Amino acid sequence: MLTTGDVIVNAITVIASIAALAISLKRKHTSRVDELRRIGEEAVLIAKRKAADGLPVDRLALETAILLDVQQDGKRDYTRQQLWASVEAALARDNK
């Protein structure tokens, strides 16, 4: 039979576990956002260095971002729309 002390200890353990899970998920989300931002910024830098023959920097940066995404682990982690938004944001920050 469970005593009041056992119930309190179990409740605290459950709450602590839920809090740890929430923190872990938040960190994972933050790291994905940071990674996406880094890819966009790096792609813009590369595209500006390689821009030639009248190719638009934004389109070249998008294709570079796609390649950088795949290059990390051999698969696509982000959609084309996510990478496009990252490139647009990096271009906007760069033009300030």
pLDDT per residue, tens digit, the chain (96 aa), is 768 877 787 778 778 777 777 777 776 767 888 999 999 999 999 998 887 767 889 999 999 999 999 998 899 999 999 999 999 999 999 887
**Backbone CA torsion sign across 44, 45, 50, 54:** positive
How far is it, in rounded angstroms, from Cα 40 to Cα 85?
Answer: 8
Whole-model pTM over 0.85 = no
- Pseudo-torsion of CA 20, 22, 27, 32, nearest 10°? 140
Q: Which domain range does residue 86 map to? A: 4-94
Confirm if 61 and 46 have CB atoms less than 8 A apart: yes
When divided into structural domains, the chain yields a total of 1
